[in-house]
Copies of this chain bind each other. A is one copy, B any other.
Amino acid sequence: MSATVLYMSMSLDGFIAGPNEGPDNGLGDGGHRLHEWALTGADADHEGVSGRLTGANRQVVDEFMATGAIVAGRGTFEPAGGWGGDHHDGVPIFVLSRQEPGIDTGQWPLVTYVSDVRTAMTEAKQAAGEKNVLVHGAATAQLALAAGLLDELEIHLIPVLLGQGRLLFDHLGPEHIELDRTRVLEGDGVTHLHYRVRR
């Protein structure tokens, strides 16, 4: 069955970006550190991000590149240049935003701006069919968790304390959200932790 799966690189102290994020500093100061594991394998021949990855890292990247739709927050999508309008393989991209697009999306038929998380997740799941939905972004994750719309989490846990930045899990209520650990993969420079949200 199709699942909505949050894929995020997070430091051991919970950050998914460094401090001082901005339009020209999308990952915050030093935030690129969290993505080194995935970029190590990238090459200049446009073979793609997973080109030279091996083992667990390759497996995880292959998985999220096999998803059938994307839900991303505006704060993830726009600083990433909207992935040029196509994250992978022409799958639809639903951008969660309460504002008008901050970049020109006119030539990108795969991209739809959606103002509420339930619509975004529902439409993405429908578009993905049998495939999973890749969910990206801290604010989106928080809204989806709070609304009970997130099925699984794949946390790429990076062996670093960033000290400051943007926390992945923030602004959640005091109710516990129980998870079941379904997989642990030890990749080069990262530990991939997979959880299912308990309902």
Interface residues, chain A, with chain B CB atoms under 8 Å away:
12-14, 18-19, 29-30, 33, 145, 153, 155, 157, 159-164, 167-169, 172-181, 184, 186, 191, 193, 195
A172 touches B161 (CB 8 A): yes
A163 touches B159 (CB 8 A): no
A195 touches B13 (CB 8 A): no
Contact of A163 among B160, B162, B168, B174 (CB under 8 A): B174
Q: How far apart sit A49 and B195, CA to CA, in the bound complex (Å)? A: 27
B173 touches A145 (CB 8 A): no
A161 touches B184 (CB 8 A): no
Give the chain B neighbours of A30 by CB distance below 8 A.
174, 176
Give the chain B neighbours of A186 by CB distance below 8 A.
181, 184
What residue of chain B has the Cβ atom nearest to residue A179's Cβ?
Answer: B159
Min C-beta distance of A172 to chain B, whole Å: 4
Give the chain B neighbours of A155 by CB distance below 8 A.
12
Instruction: Name 13 extra pairs, CB < 8 A, besides A14-B169, A159-B181.
Output: A12-B153, A13-B168, A13-B169, A30-B176, A33-B176, A159-B178, A159-B180, A160-B176, A161-B172, A161-B177, A163-B175, A184-B184, A184-B191
A177 touches B191 (CB 8 A): no
A-B contact pairs, 20 of them (CB 8 A): A12-B155, A12-B179, A12-B195, A13-B168, A14-B14, A29-B174, A30-B174, A159-B178, A159-B179, A159-B181, A161-B169, A161-B172, A161-B176, A162-B176, A163-B172, A163-B173, A163-B177, A164-B172, A184-B191, A191-B193
